Each structure stands twice: as structure tokens, then as C-alpha cells.
Amino acid sequence: MLTSTQKRAAATATAIVLLTATPALALGPFVRTDGVLRDLAPGSASPFDGARARVQIVESGNGASHAVLTVKGIGAAAEGQTFGAHLHEGPCIAGDGAAAGPHYNSHVHSGAPKEVSDRTEFWLDFTVADGTGTGTTTVPFVPESGSRSVVVHALPTNPANGGAGDRLACLTVAW
Ligand SMILES: [Cu+2]
């Protein structure tokens, strides 16, 4: 015969196993960073000069991940405009847009035939309202760790090829 204390302990253990096994359980953020955006187009005024950004990427279970980009302090000239933003392979180095490399693409990492889309890349386009913009996306993969960056571009992302014009600013995203 189990005592009531033993029964409670057994029930608690079962509950812990069930919680741990639940695939939809959020696994928490694996990168959360913020700072002043670095200028990738020095010499020309940009509405992102002096703006700050925050990036969080969370593994959401089932091999998916969810990312949020928030940019604040954007210049008034950009009010109402939409800007492309993506997770790029390489680091964010002021004045050196090429250092960020291409978009992080899950097919390139897995060796699958390359497909450029919002399912294989983190596209975080945002529209500016009151000097602030927020871009979010959920993708069916978890990116490999590295010294990466989020790059803000001059134009909205072209869904046909992922292009978004000049690279204006970036933030280091490393984990
Ligand atoms: Cu980009």
C-alpha cells in the first residue's frame, strides 16, 4: 500500500515527466541582445543613425524558432516606411556591410537545394511608426550558433529573391 505522501510524490513525478515531454513547450531564448545600431553607410545620413535595436530569438519547440526585432529612435524621415531586415551569416562591423555576408539560409546549412524564402531565412521587415519598428517571424528551423548580425536595409524585402537594397545599419547577434 502506498501512503498518501508516496501517492502525491508519484503524481508529481508523473507531472514533471509530462511537462518535460510536451513538444510545444517553449525552450526559452537562446539569444537576446540590444545596442546602438552600427552604421553601414557612413558618409550618408540615415534615419537609423543613433537608433537602438533589440533582437531576441527563441526556440519554440518542434524544431522551430521565433525572432523579434525592435528598433527605436528612428529618424522622422522614415516615418511610415517599411525596411527590410534579416539575420545574416556574418558579424556586424561598422562601415563594412559586406562583412555581414549573405542571409542566414537554413538550406545552405543543411545542404538542401537553396530556396530563398521567409521559411528558410529570418525576414524581419518592419514599418516605422512613432520612430519605432517591430519585425517578427517564425521559421521551421533553429539556426546554428555563430557571430552573426541583423542587417537593416533601405527597401522592403523582395519576396522573389530576398533582396532589400542597400545595407544601412546592423546589430551583432552572437550566441
Ligand atoms: Cu539582409
Kindly state the average pLDDT of the residues 19-45. Answer: 77
Residue 69: predicted pLDDT: 98
Across 7-16, 93-102, 108-117, least confident range: 7-16
80 has a pLDDT exceeding 70: yes
CB 156 within 8 A of CB 164: yes
In the chain, the number of structural domains is: 1
| 106 φ, ψ (degrees, to nearest 5) | -65, -30
Cα 152 to ligand 1 centroid, rounded to whole Å: 6
- Residue 14 domain-assigned? no
The answer to whether position 29 is within a domain reads yes
Q: What is the C-alpha end-to-end distance of the chain, expressed in Å? A: 51
Res 13 pLDDT > 80: no
Ligand 1 centroid to Cα of residue 24, in Å, is: 30
Q: Look up the pTM and report it.
A: 0.84
Q: 164-174 pLDDT, tens per residue? A: 999 999 999 99
In a domain, 33, yes or no: yes
Mean pLDDT, rounded, for 28-54 = 93
Centroid of ligand 1 to alpha carbon of 2 (angstroms): 61
Assess whether pLDDT exceeds 70 at residue 4: no
Among 2-6, 11-15, 105-109, 145-149, the range scoring the smallest mean pLDDT is 11-15
Cα–ligand 1 centroid distance for 162 (angstroms): 8
| In a domain? residue 117 | yes
- Distance from residue 10's CA to the centre of ligand 1 (Å): 52
Q: Would residue 48 count as lying in a domain?
A: yes
Q: Are 55 and 67 in contact (CB under 8 A)?
A: yes
Residue 40 has φ and ψ, to the nearest 5°, of -100, -5
Q: Which domain holds residue 58?
A: 25-174
Cα of 128 from ligand 1 centre, angstroms: 17
160 within some domain: yes
Would you say residue 11 lies in a domain?
Answer: no
Residue 163 contacts residue 157 (beta carbons within 8 Å) = yes
Q: Is residue 92 part of a domain?
A: yes
CB atoms closer than 10 angstroms to residue 136: 15
Looking up cell 526556440 gives: 59
Tell me, in angstroms, the distance from the centre of ligand 1 to residue 41's CA. 14
pLDDT at position 101 over 90: yes
What CATH number has the domain bearing residue 31?
2.60.40.200
3-class DSSP state of 74: coil
From residue 174, how far is each of 34, 38, 43, 92, 161 by CA, in Å?
11, 15, 27, 10, 25
